[in-house]
Amino acid sequence: MLSQTSLRRVHFAGTAWFVLCIGYILVLSLRQAGFQWWVIFSLSGYSALFILMLISLYLFAIFRGIDRSQKIEIEHPLTSSAYYTMFYNLTPLLGSIVGSLTVIGVHGISEILYGIALGTLATTFMVWIVSDPLTASLEKLFPASREHRRERFLQAKILRQQKQQEREELIDRVIAQEKEEKHRWGLFLLPYSEKLAELLSARQINCQQAEKEAVDVGVTAWKMGGLHCMKQLYTMTLEQSKQGFQNSIRIEHLSNWWDGIGTWRSSSLS
């Protein structure tokens, strides 16, 4: 059985060789096009594109390695095996052998190196880009693979439904708690709303005393449930005014008196 250390070393060696061959082909092509060395390797010239290409190719190789490690053995019995992974990582090195066979009889060093690099590029492209995805797709057609994939999707669907149901139940509990809390507030705030309606009625003479008592009630509501509780008390007071005082109170005074209590502002209800 191949160890993970061996696979990592082969992966690094194959990727490094692949990047080196790509770099050689690029440099040789630029030289044949008439570019000078200082242009090729100048930081303000084509080397920025050259370096970016090398980094992109290396990141692609890393991504392919990560994607391969996440394959499920039952669904991909071939491409997830250690021997296939070793072959996949060895592809650039095997490509150099293919390239060396194409330059038999050639005497120029640059032509030999170019043939080896081109063989590496062609073989790696065929395996990584064409053959590997095609093989992985064909593996999905196996009966065992299709059955396991169907079961996996079914389990994932059930898990999503369970999470959705848990979220809905949580929302229902929160709504129920809010309703229960509002009901509890309503029972507690009922006498306060009646008192505020009386303080705000047209029959109230001492405005300063009324404001002081209204502020005390507002502070009590704030301590009990914050801004939401104060708004509920405000609404209840408005309802009390309609029932007992025939809209003869100045409800806007209450919002102004409460201004500054907690997060209440005179524009809170707008």
What residue spans define the domains of the chain?
4-141, 158-257
Structure tokens of 242? 């309609």
pLDDT surpassing 90 at residue 128: no
Query: Is residue 245 very low, low, confident or very high in pLDDT (cuts 50, 70, 90)?
Result: low
Alpha carbons 17 and 26: distance in angstroms, whole number: 14
67 CB burial (10 A radius; 0-12, 13-18, 19+): exposed
Instruction: Kindly indicate the confidence band of residue 246, based on its pLDDT and cuts at 50, 70 and 90.
Output: low
Amino acid at 85: T
User: Tell me, what's the pLDDT at 49?
Assistant: 55
* Across 169-176, average pLDDT: 92
| pTM, rounded to two decimals | 0.49
